[in-house]
Structure 1
Amino acid sequence: MKKKYGLLLAMLVAVLMMVVPLSNQHAQAATDDSLEKIQKKGVLVMGTSPDYPPYEFQATVNGKSAIVGMDVKIGQKVAKDLGVKLKIKSMSFDSLLVALQTGKVDMIISGMNPTPARRKNVAFTHTYYQGGYDIVINKTDTGKYKNKDSFKGGTLGAQTGSTQYNAAKKQTKNTKVKGMTSQSDLILALQSHKLAGVAMEKPSAEAYVSNNKQLAAIPSDFNMSASATSSAIAFRKGSTSLVNKVNKTVDQIKKDNLVKKDYLPAAGKYLKTNTVNTSMGHYWKAFLTGIEYTLIITVCSVFFGFIIGIVLALARMAKGGVLKTALRWLATAYVEFIRGTPMMVQVMFVYFGLGLFVNLPALTSGIIAISLNSGAYVAEYIRGGINSVDDGQTEAARSLGMSNGETMRFVVLPQALKNIWPSLGNEFITLIKDSSIVSIIGVTELIYQSNIVRSDTYRGVAPIVVIMVLYFILTFTASRILNYFERKMQHD
């Protein structure tokens, strides 16, 4: 099954749950209106990670990229039986459980297995699919490997934290087990001979093998429990009425054998369609969309980050009474805290943490998080620039009758900006690349789009080369523009 949410996200959930009022939890337990809420809202938001064919993956449908697969079919069936519309929200698998617990999604259908550990945090329906595990290898190694015991002295790969990863660690001897975050990365590592094999679910293994003639699948022979090889739908804890209603749909799907009769064959058709044209030019619209969102995030973050930076810099330099001292300490604490925590954690906290109180879209959350992060660094650039301006400039302005505010606005800041322009330009270039972090919450920037193309085409290297070139074009162009204005400032 897919990987469990990592230690980092587990810690984040713990923090978020601590800030949720206990009275709300007791109220939910006392009155379960989960089914009524969904039907009243008229929309059922399904969270999924579309990198796991044939469960869920991206495909080109009528010229547009869409999320398809057997899990999507199940989601559509559930929504239809509830009498509501289905809305699919894409994000990394590690983020799904946090998204469910913070209300970003109403349910998870993403090849998730109902393990005892997960049942402590979410409610599961009856299982809708029972699978197994294979190991994908390079076809040239078919005679060399037979099962998990054949990899002694070699390296076996699996998704980090997944049940097959844990099984490989426990049930193999003298074998190095390497974890990665996505199936496409694992297949790329396999084809570049960094891995000898990749453990994954049988349907996924069959999907990759049927669409890549260089790969083959062998039995894993892992000793797995039923819960570790089955899939179920996850809902928030306490959603008893909703789970009971959806269980009727799940039972009907199993009774009519819809997964094998309809849903898997339909997914197979999309898998074949994906490999009809795998040229990178065929996906120019996806890359163009990625460039658009990357630029939107970068430009907005630079603008707001600059404003935040000015405020923080002035606050850090404030001198005098108690209020100014408090502002100085607060600004210093903010800068140190932001610079001392990873931007990825900040993005997740804004999206999921603020999601407890305000339901912010992923793009907005990404811009807010990157702006707040950029502001801390810009504040130090500006503070350094202000300090670099000779004190005589301030004294001259004051002697002309300018107030402190006018002196700062018309004399000091313009000169400081000229001095720190290279540093601000470097921050802009850095933000173009750092915008890729927001792909973890489902923002369709360049990294996200490249993962879509990799999922569509089963080609690992080509999409990476394309986005490397695109990032270089963006950063090089921005660098030339910034250098032009820097020369203009020097001449002035």
Structure 2
Amino acid sequence: MKYFRWLSLTLVVMFLTLIGAPVLSQQVAAQDDNPSYIIATDTTFAPFEFQDENGDFVGIDLDLLAAIAEDQGFEYELRPLGFSAALQAVESGQADGMIAGMSITDERRETFDFSETYFSAGVQFAVLEDSEFQSLEDLDGQKVAVKSGTQGMAVAEELADEYGFIVTIFEDSVNMYEDLQAGNSQALIEDYPVMAYAAETGGIPLRFIGEQMEMADYGFAVKSGDNSELIEMFNAGLANLQESGEYDEILATYLGEIAMNADSEEAEATDADDAVVVADPDTTYVIGTDTTFAPFEFQDEDGNYVGIDMDLLAAIAEDQGFNYEVRPLGFNAALQAVEAGQIDGMIAGMSITDERRETFDFSDTYFSAGVQFAVLEDSEIQTLEDLKGQNVAVKTGTQGMAVAESVADQYGFTLTAFEDSVNMYEDLQAGNSSAVIEDYPVMAYAAETGGIPLRFIGEQMEVADYGFAVQKGQSSDLLALFNQGLNALKESGEYDEIVASYIGESQEAETEEAKADSAAVVADPDTTYVIGTDTTFAPFEFQDEDGNYVGIDMDLLAAIAEDQGFNYEVRPLGFNAALQAVEAGQVDGMIAGMSITDERRETFDFSDTYFSAGVQFAVLEDSEIQTLEDLKGQNVAVKTGTQGMAVAESIADKYGFSITTFEDSVNMYEDLQAGNSSVVIEDYPVMAYAAETGGIPLRFIGEQMEVADYGFAVQKGQNSDLLALFNQGLNALKESGEYDEIVATYLGETDVEAEEALTRSTNAFVSLIQSNGKALMNGLWTTLWVTLVSFAIAAVLGIIVGLMRTSGITALSIIAQIYIDIMRGMPLIVLAFFIYFGVPQLTGLQFGAYTAGITTLGLNAAAYIAEIVRGGINAVDRGQTEAARSLGLSQSKTMRRIILPQAFRIMIPSFINQFVITLKDTSILSVIGLVELTQTGRIIISRTYQSGSMWLIVGLMYIILITILTKISNRLEKEL
């Protein structure tokens, strides 16, 4: 009985144990000490930029740039990178500006600041002159060649379903035209002057079909918020060239009659666009609106419909001279009335969405606003997380309702829909609903003028443009009249007066207040954030020769933490493990050169962008592979979970290659160098850094693809304070210039030379040991320490389970057998993932990497030790048990005094063998961020790329250690 009391107590003890200021220029004048600007451009986009027979880059863009630079007196260096790479170079700050026949679009305005327009052109379809195709309808089932990332590609993708053609993408114009001439594609689409130039000078017999579409303006671009003086000089120089006539001469040099034709067509198109629509005095338009959507439309005390929408409509009608009748139908009824043709148009604070564009034609934007959640002022609800189990009131068919439906499951609330805003607010005040969501200005107006004590929670979401709407393809005159009138009101200032009469400075004040609130996040000095990161993703994160984690990400994080005053602990887990750790709540945030994608936004909240880069394919320098087309039948190495892997998977069928995935970059490059894979794909700066500093002779093929933004990530809906601190610190670093210094440390040429010197000094076998001895010994100590602790736990637990197996008590024996079968049947890596990631998600109980690693090894080894114990006990002659019992010894005394001493002598070799196995199993724990000996070797390889020498060193260390343990085992066996 004493034995079983001791066993029970030990089981309980074991269970508990396991259990990171813009300066405005006042004058556009180039000084003698102006810096030399780096200007990126395309390589093959004649007549805008191309190489002449002497190898010099010429064209409209380059001649304009040269003339403007001469006029303004600034110096520049030209970098012909290709269109996509030029975009990325400007975004990442590697180039100061870009001129490449680049269309000015709303999407690009989010990332770039543009000059005044220097050229305008539309895109058009073309076929070979002898082609049978006469119209776009004839393209059904045919292939259309496009150039990646261009306006032509966007138009082709938009029309592909309508006309039934297939889009084939090329990285440059030359390949696109070759594909057409080879007969692989039957048509192409590109900017009209480019194709006209190719047809006239390149001997390509093109014939245009259809009309020019998507007339766009070309502009010189810089990164948004940067190099404003360069934009101003470009604009000033462009104006001077246009005034002097030199601009026309440059165009005529390349376009000649083409320019005249294009200008004529453009003028005709412009005249058509600018033709003034005159209202018919005999026509009265019927306009539908909402009934209760203040401050846009509502009834005043006299019963008249007023508001921003109503006053704008009245002013526009007066300005344009048309008659109208207002029908206050309610939002949904107005939508249906426009669709049914019962009314001519609708103005009701209506968001312009892609879905609605399928049914309606919209005017120019007349207002922009986002939706936001609000509660009563005295509500206990402070954040969106507090809405769990609550009811949220929404207005049917609005953007607010759409947003609420999209986040209802995430925050755990239910919805109640109302036909108008009045009932929605009444439901809130009656206590039936705990929150409402609607357009911010509407709620702000209601709170300010309606006596509803609202308090906003969360931030504005889904900021959208409001537009006047008509049925698709109908009432184009009414739409034109509205746009003409709106422009006139904006020019005269009456538009601002109307908006101010209802909103005044309240919206601006609220915005400023919100900014102040967001800027007021202060770090808690008692909180230490745990930040996960990758282990081998230089130059973003890697270990230096002293074993410290450095890189762009690490230095940014340290600088931001210092600026904002928060404490943090870095957990180098590896990319995939870090992702899972954030999801499981094991870490508070993650910085690991992580691309911001729509898919990841579903799981994570991201900071502002801190870096931008694209992915690219690379081969060894002496490889015969020259283009992506040569990849057919080859193997491509990728890193699991990265943007490179996603891109490779998306084009694998197109180019006919297979994919091999690796957990880190080091193994990926080793596979390439070993010849198992012919190509790798990864973020361009990472491969460029590896090639320059790691001695890997890489050659890039194709162009950069999928340029993506990198962001700091937290679990969706969690750690908003940490995200705010990161954004505040990042902005501060950018303003102070420290951000640029950090990036330059790793990507600047000076540092590259230093890293090359470092690599040369650490490449030799002996030098590797000397330079990395401390890190290797730390890794060895971690391996030994984790092994010893886990084996001690395993020994105790294993002996207990082994004794249970041999106790003769059926229940204990079955429990022990089940435990052994589970532990022996489960792969160690699965057990490690379950304990480190699964248990926190299921129970909320969190483990550190060391605790999880020790627990994993302990539980696993205990099962094997239990079988060793069982085998040792069974190896003792049964006659000794019978003899002891005949002498009057109890079962427990017989076990302690007679059986176990002999059994332990038999078990010693097996125990030592299991200890060696456990020691080697520690290498698996690197998947949860434990930096033991094997992981230390991988980290050093990620910096030096000397895999052969390093694995030899690590292997020798294991051999020496295990040999010593084996000798000890043999000695003990002899002495006992």
The structure that is helix-richer by fraction is 1
Distance 1:350 1:461, change over 3 A: same
1:55 aligns with 2:544: no
Please name the residue that 1:169 is paired with. 649
1:88 aligns with 2:570: yes
Distance (whole Å) between structure 2 residues aligned to residue 339 and residue 198 of structure 1? 37
Distance 1:89 1:37, change over 3 A: farther
Which is richer in strand? 2
TM-score, normalised on structure 2?
Answer: 0.44
Q: Tell me if 1:197 matches 2:197.
A: no
Deviations along 1:194-242, whole A, 9 cap, x unmatched? 2222111111111011124551231443653x5xx22111112213444
The one-character-per-residue Cα deviations of 1:82-138 (angstroms, maximum 9, x if unpaired) are 321232211121111222233332210101112222222221122221101222322
Quote the residue 2:716 is aligned against.
Answer: 237
- Residue number in structure 2 paired with 1:216: 698
Native 8 Å contact 1:171 1:222 kept in 2: no
> Aligned to 1:123, which of 564, 586, 605?
605
- What's the secondary structure of 2:638's corresponding residue? strand
Q: Which residue of 2 aligns with 1:20?
A: none
Partner residue, 2:297: none
- The aligned counterpart of 1:267 is 746
Secondary structure of the structure 1 residue equivalent to 2:616: strand
The partner residue of 2:856 within 364, 369, 372 is 369
Secondary structure of the 1:98 match is helix
Distance in 2, matches of 1:24 and 1:438, equals 38
Q: Please show how residues 98-109 of structure 1 align to structure 2 within 5 Å.
A: 98-109=580-591
Corresponding residue to 2:956 among 469, 478, 486: 469
In the alignment, residue 332 of structure 1 is paired with which amino acid? Q
For the structure 1 residues 24 and 147, does the alpha-carbon distance in structure 2 shift closer, same or farther, using more than 3 Å as the test? farther
Alpha-carbon distance in 1 for matches of 2:549, 2:758: 12
The answer to whether the aligner puts 1:386 opposite 2:870 as a matched pair is: no
Counterpart selection for 1:283 from 749, 761, 772: 772
Q: Give the corresponding residue for 1:306.
A: 795
**Residues in 1 aligned to 2:824 and 2:564: alpha-carbon distance in whole angstroms:** 47
Q: How does 1:473-492 map to 2 (within 5 A)?
A: 473-489=960-976
Determine the structure 2 residue equivalent to 1:14.
none
Residue type of the partner of 2:815? L
One-letter amino acid of the structure 2 residue matched with residue 46 of structure 1? I
Tell me: CA distance 1:273–1:110, structure 2 relative to 1, closer, same or farther (3 Å).
farther
Cα offset, 1:73, TM superposition: 2.3
Question: What's 1:41 paired with?
Answer: 526
The runs of 5 or more residues in structure 1 that have no matched partner are 1-22
- In structure 2, relative to structure 1, the CA distance for the partners of 1:298 and 1:86 (3 Å cut) is closer
Report the secondary structure of 1:131's partner residue. Answer: strand
Query: After superposition, what is the alpha-carbon deviation per residue over 1:457-490, rounded to whole angstroms, capped at 9, x for unaligned?
Result: 121211111111111111111112111222233x
The 1:103–1:24 alpha-carbon spacing in structure 2 relative to 1, beyond 3 Å, is farther
2:831 corresponding residue in structure 1: 346
Unaligned runs of 5+ residues in structure 2 are 1-384, 390-409, 413-456, 459-517
The one-letter code sitting in structure 2 at the alignment partner of 1:285 is K
Report SS of the residue matched to 1:165: helix
Give the 3 Å change call, closer, same or farther, for CA 26–395 of structure 1 in structure 2: farther
Alpha-carbon distance between aligned partners in 1 of 2:940 and 2:913, rounded to the nearest angstrom = 30
- CA gap 1:54/1:301 in 2 versus in 1, 3 angstroms: same
TM-superposed deviation, 1:43? 2.4
| Residue number in structure 2 paired with 1:159 | 639
Residue 429 in 1 paired to residue 913 in 2? no
Distance in 1 of aligned mates of 2:386 and 2:913: 46
Secondary structure (helix, strand or coil) at the match of 1:65 reads coil
1:5 corresponding residue in structure 2? none
CA distance in 2, matches of 1:419, 1:442: 37
Distance 1:251 1:483 in 2: 64
Report the counterpart of residue 398 of structure 1 in structure 2: 885
AA of the residue aligned to 1:216: L
Match of 1:18 in 2: none
CA displacement 1:3-31 (0-9 Å, x = unmatched): xxxxxxxxxxxxxxxxxxxx999499599
CA deviation profile, 1:34-80 (whole Å, cap 9, x unmatched): 998962534232211131111111113xxx22111111122123323
* 1:239-254 matches, cutoff 5 A: 239=718, 240-251=720-731
Residues 43 and 86 of structure 1 are in contact (CA less than 8 Å); yes or no, is this contact kept in structure 2?
A: yes
Is the Cα contact below 8 Å between 1:309 and 1:376 reproduced in 2? yes
Residue 595 of structure 2 corresponds to 113
> How many Å apart are 1:448 and its aligned residue?
1.5
The one-letter amino acid of 2:709's match is S
Name the CA distance, whole Å, in 1 between partners of 2:793 and 2:709. 46
Greater CA deviation, 349-358 or 83-92?
349-358
Give the aligned residue type for 2:716.
Answer: K
Structure 2 residue corresponding to 1:441, chosen from 903, 928, 935: 928
SS in 1 for 2:812: helix
Name the TM-score, length of structure 1 as normaliser: 0.84
Deviation at residue 359 of structure 1 after TM alignment: 4.3
Letter in 2 for 1:109: I
* 2:619–2:680 Cα contact (<8 Å) kept: yes
Structure 2 residue matching 1:395: 3-state secondary structure: helix
Confirm or deny that 1:71 pairs with 2:556.
no
Partners of 1:36 and 1:483 in 2: how far apart?
63
Counterpart code for 1:203: P
Q: 1:214 to 1:362 in 2, by over 3 A?
A: closer
* Cα drift, residue 272 of structure 1: 4.2
For structure 1, which segment, 165-174 or 278-287, has the greater mean C-alpha deviation from structure 2 after superposition?
A: 165-174
Distance 1:45 1:242 in 2: 11
Question: Do structure 1's residue 136 and structure 2's residue 615 form an aligned pair?
Answer: no
Comparing 196-205 with 344-353, greater Cα deviation is found at 344-353
Give the letter for the 1:118 counterpart: R
Deviates more, 1:426-435 or 1:243-252: 243-252
Partner of 2:10: none
Instruction: Sort the Cα spacing of 1:273 and 1:404 in 2 relative to 1 into closer, same or farther, 3 A.
Output: farther
One-letter amino acid of the counterpart of residue 710, structure 2: S
1:292 aligns with 2:292: no
8 A Cα contact 1:47 1:108, kept in partner: yes
Whether the 8 Å contact between 2:582 and 2:588 is mirrored in structure 1 is: yes
How far off its partner does 1:329 sit?
Answer: 2.5
Q: Could you tell me whether the CA contact under 8 Å between 1:385 and 1:419 is conserved in 2?
A: yes
- Corresponding residue SS for 1:153: coil
- Please say if residues 594 and 711 of structure 2, whose CA atoms lie closer than 8 Å, have aligned partners that are also in contact: yes
Q: Which amino acid aligns with 1:221?
A: E
Say how many residue pairs are matched.
453
Change over 3 Å in CA distance of 1:271–1:427 after alignment to 2: same
Taking the aligned partners of 2:582 and 2:521, their CA distance within structure 1 comes to 18
Query: Alpha carbons of 1:37 and 1:47: their partners in 2 closer, same or farther (altered >3 Å)?
Result: farther
Structure 2: how far apart are the matches of 1:443 and 1:175?
Answer: 35
| RMSD (CA atoms) | 2.8
The structure that has the greater radius of gyration is 2
Distance in 1, matches of 2:675 and 2:853, equals: 36
